[in-house]
Amino acid sequence: MTSIVEQRTESSAARERTGSRLTMLWLATALAVMLHNAEEWWFGLTTWMAERPWLPGHAVHGDARTFDVVLAIVTCAVLALALTAIVLRPRWSAGVLIWVSWGLVINGLGHLVLAAIALSPMPGVVSGVGLLVPLGLVSLRQLKGE
């Protein structure tokens, strides 16, 4: 039979491991989103989409200036979530990261599908398939049961 002090110590250690895991996942997510958005911007996703008006989702990307603003907003939003989750450690952190992780997986697979349909490497496909999908799946696996 364990004492109350031992139970509290075990509980504190488990919370610390969970907090450290969430911190690492949030940091990796923020970095992956920044790299992915930089790839989309650097290699001209809106130009690539404009050259292929027959692709699904063409209208979503709009003009380059608007898309640049959207990339900045998304990047800042993920950074704000990550910083809040790391610094304040709110109870909602794991739940929100699960939704963000699903977004990573869907975004990365979407790039792969559109690149396959177009038979052309889409800006964002490298980081989408190489970073977003694996990180999203790892995060979902790690957070299962949270």
Per-residue pLDDT tens over the stretch 49-75: 999 999 987 777 778 899 999 999 999
The candidate with the shortest Cα–Cα distance to 58, out of 127, 117, 106, is: 117
pLDDT at 62: 75
Domains of the chain, by residue range, sit at 20-142
Output the six-digit token pair for 30.
Answer: 């923020």
> Does residue 16 register a pLDDT over 90?
no
